[in-house]
Structure 1
Amino acid sequence: MDPQLYRSKEIQDMIEEEDDHHGRPVTQEKITHSGLFGRYGCDTNLELFNSTLQAMASINPTPNFIIYTGDSVGHSMPMDQWIQSHTIFAKMVQSLLPNIPFIPSIGNNDVFPDYNVTCSDSKLQFLSQVWSPWIPQDQVSSFLQMGAMAVTPIDGLTVITINTILYSVNQDRDPLTDTDPCGQFAWLEDQLDIAQSINNSVYIIGHIYPGLDPFYQLEQWYEPYILTFYQTLSNYNSIIKAGFFGHIHRDQIRAPAYDQPATNPQPPSTVNPYMPIFVGSAISPVYDNNPSFKVFSADDYLNIQTFDTYYTDIYFSNLLNHTNWTLEYNFNNVYDVQSTIIDGQVLNELAQYFNLNRFGFAVYDYFSTSSYDADAVSNICLVGNPTQSTYLECLDAFDDVDLLMTKLRMARRMPKSSINR
């Protein structure tokens, strides 16, 4: 979030000039002004953020809890504005969404400088103070150590929020020697053990999901960490109901197998073989997307049953001088999902449907940007393949010109890159 109502020319210039790790500016058009609710290519301003919180309170006044997948601070901010933005964010959430359990996770822009976080450092200390209303007292020590916590917002559910920045390819670490940064994987397994022992269901939330980005099909975590994550979760797939992540400013799904070929060459288990991952878009329209948020419904066993996505169009909001938060789609209706729950198997089957029905995939791709413009990444291999090796194997299984072009584009790239969202 940008703490200024209208973005200053200095910040605009800084964003235009900064490389976003893709070798291109964050925005490629000259910013000459900003509308009341911001504009595409800019981060969220106060008017848009205020409108979003009010829309959430109006559409669903009494949710059981709110999951927030990180990045409450805009891109490329100097430290004084970074601190100010964090403070404003926390105050506005507490003011407009009072008495609702709010469960945050750390985004790469939530630390300063970007992606710069280590074990027990000053950034975690700062966030523990700003986010203190949302961190249970018995979770303060784990948050201060690694930026993770486990909370029980309702009976029967454990929500585990992990610090995914520790695993990012933008971190300067060797995953072969530093196999468990800050001891978070061991901590995660302990939390899963506890949840299992008391028969709790589990949601796992974080900022950067363990898989490939949709823009360049490159790993967002170091691959050893991706494999360790799914291997750790594979012993608890009966209680893990969903994962919720963000980072890419795109509304997408993932359904990777818990048993990855590199760690378990056997076929995936027949019981809950795939992890259902929901990747939220963003409020910020900085990466050519409209703002959006989701309202999930779950059954008595905390299985996700469906969700509604709401959005507002930035262009028309500025034109009309007011936002118009609208139901964009209901997941079950738009994709004709007949299952009573949305688990990893359902998401995996939906990906196969997309391969057979390109119109269905075109709809999915359009909603990916919250009805702004389709990315036209014409393949479905991203849904189930979190590493480049399995992704390429998936491409090999298809005889399709679009997928061939994707492989040719990948062959021209550097072996390692990253995405800065």
Structure 2
Amino acid sequence: MADTGNPGTFLLFSDVHFDPFADPSLVPALAASDVSAWTGLLSSSSQTAYAAYGSDSNYPLFESALDDMAARAADVSTILYPGDILAHDFPQDYAALTGDTSQAGLDAFAQKTVAFFVQEVDSRFPDAMVLVADGNCDTDNMSGSIGARPGDPYLSDTAPLLAQAFFNNDTDRTAFASTYAVGGYYAVEPDGPTGLKYIVLNDNLWITEYDDPAAGAVELSWFASELAESAQNFQKVWVVGHIPVGANASSVVASYDQTGRIAYSGNLDDGFNAAFVGLELAYDATIKATFTGHTHNDDFRLVTDGSGAANLLRIAPSISPVFDNNPGYQVYSFDTRTSSLLDETTYTLDLQSSSPAWSKEYAYAETYGQTLATPQEWQAVYGAILTNPATQAAYIDHLGQGAATQFPVTAANLPAYLATPGFVLPATYNAAVAALAG
């Protein structure tokens, strides 16, 4: 294992998908009230149970998650949030429950929901820098579910809220808002140009469903220039986005159920997927870690062209249990000298229990016998997942944070899941599936 060096800690949580519509009787008052009144209104609800499987996060679940994070990691100086503040179908639910189909009404309610999220996080972690990526549900587009487009009011409306609460000085606030308010992506250097740089992407612009590849190309060029500048300055980088590279295992398995054939289906457009992988490989000495959410599963990707791990992408579990997963979050340790990850501990809320309570699910190094520090260790863990039954069972169980997933893993579809972490390009993924299927 690698030398643990000087450990620091940070918090990773994602995909809250806060649902202000969970108690429909409160929605008219929430829409009419200032956000300062929301806590009182939401706490008055007769719905006191945690959100159930198949639902997004209600007020009791969101508050419980934040309280547990604060109890275990109150002193962290950095929190990574890879996106999806808003609930699924947010625009449609707003219109249905308020009767207001105006863009202005939707914009205002989305802004208040984000302000409530910011208020609640900041009340537990007032001194932490919180890096928020734009999720595919974080939008005030009536169509929803493709993320905020460049120039959308959602970005310009939420930029001041996030900047003021989540950054600790005007330099970082300006760096954040100057590009986030327009395109949803940004880079900050809280410790100056000799410290760790955080590059936060709006990778919703790189999905197939997004209808403006030019906007994605602009962001990709910006990303490349930020990496080149950091490499020139011998600066280390952590990348944060929402949507991971590689295959979408759930889509692959859903297609398999219909066709009987396992074949690559990507989270990102194939061209942007390849370009992202290319940049991560080209700057593997500069990028020390990459983080996303979106899948609602505790997972990872080895960023590689198929010839061995070159970079590691960690996927955060979600707070929302909408895909039949248990809520979860992670506390990481890292080497403050090298910016390399060391270990992480995952905490989950078992909604299958008659009395759900947050508890430690597992610690990475304890479970897998390796740290998160080096490509050799990442590859060793993946090799054990492929070949060791006990390690493989642990990995599969962790995918849904200990709960049955939306697409249960079977002997027949197992190759789709096992190939996903290690092979992020279509050709290498399909070849790996064929080999794993025998």
* TM-score normalised by length of structure 2: 0.76
**What displacement does 1:127 show?**
2.5
- Kindly provide the CA deviation profile for residues 267-309 of structure 1, in whole angstroms up to 9, marking residues without a partner as x: 56xxxx5210111110001110111110110112111111000
User: Which residue of 2 is the match for residue 143 of structure 1?
Assistant: 180
User: Which residue of 2 is the match for residue 312 of structure 1?
Assistant: 349
User: Which residue of 1 is the match for residue 380 of structure 2?
Assistant: 349
**What displacement does 1:395 show?**
1.8
Contact 1:4 1:46 (8 Å CA) reproduced: yes
Unaligned runs of 5+ residues in structure 2 are 1-16, 28-45, 95-105, 168-172, 253-264
Alignment partner of 1:111 out of 136, 139, 147 = 139
Aligned partner of residue 251 in structure 2, secondary structure:
coil
CA distance in 1, matches of 2:374, 2:209: 31
CA distance in 2, matches of 1:394, 1:120: 41
Q: How does 1:115-194 map to 2 (within 5 A)?
A: 115-133=146-164, 134=166, 136-154=173-191, 156-173=195-212, 175=213, 178=214, 181=216, 183-194=218-229
CA distance in 2, matches of 1:197, 1:255: 25
Contact 2:288 2:339 (8 Å CA) reproduced: yes
Q: How does 1:76-115 map to 2 (within 5 A)?
A: 76-77=89-90, 78=94, 79=106, 81-112=109-140, 113-115=144-146
Contact 1:253 1:347 (8 Å CA) reproduced: no
Contact 1:203 1:240 (8 Å CA) reproduced: yes
User: Which residue of 2 is the match for residue 200 of structure 1?
Assistant: 235
**What displacement does 1:86 show?**
1.5
Aligned partner of residue 276 in structure 1, secondary structure:
strand
Alignment partner of 2:322 out of 286, 300, 309 = 286
Aligned residue identity for 1:106 = D
**What displacement does 1:2 show?**
3.7
User: Which residue of 1 is the match for residue 332 of structure 2?
Assistant: 296
Aligned partner of residue 56 in structure 2, secondary structure:
coil
Identify if the C-alpha distance between structure 1 residues 197 and 42 changes in structure 2 by more than 3 Å, giving closer, same or farther. Answer: same
Structure having the higher helix fraction is 2
User: Which residue of 1 is the match for residue 248 of structure 2?
Assistant: 213
Aligned residue identity for 1:397 = A
CA distance in 1, matches of 2:109, 2:154: 15
User: Which residue of 1 is the match for residue 100 of structure 2?
Assistant: none
Aligned partner of residue 90 in structure 1, secondary structure:
helix
CA distance in 2, matches of 1:144, 1:246: 21
Aligned partner of residue 397 in structure 1, secondary structure:
helix
User: Which residue of 1 is the match for residue 36 of structure 2?
Assistant: none
Cα RMSD (Å): 2.4
User: Which residue of 1 is the match for residue 67 of structure 2?
Assistant: 54
Contact 1:3 1:46 (8 Å CA) reproduced: yes
CA distance in 2, matches of 1:354, 1:117: 36
CA distance in 2, matches of 1:373, 1:398: 23
Unaligned runs of 5+ residues in structure 1 are 12-32, 262-266, 401-421
CA distance in 1, matches of 2:241, 2:18: 22
CA distance in 2, matches of 1:352, 1:224: 28
Identify if the C-alpha distance between structure 1 residues 95 and 9 changes in structure 2 by more than 3 Å, giving closer, same or farther. Answer: closer
**What displacement does 1:97 show?**
1.4
Identify if the C-alpha distance between structure 1 residues 97 and 116 changes in structure 2 by more than 3 Å, giving closer, same or farther. Answer: closer
- Kindly provide the CA deviation profile for residues 25-80 of structure 1, in whole angstroms up to 9, marking residues without a partner as x: xxxxxxxx966111111110111111111111110111130000100111112236
Bigger shift: residues 121-130 or 98-107: 121-130
Contact 2:135 2:204 (8 Å CA) reproduced: yes
CA distance in 1, matches of 2:22, 2:223: 41
Q: Which one has more relative contact order, counting CA pairs under 8 Å at least 6 apart?
A: 2
Alignment partner of 2:278 out of 220, 223, 231 = 231
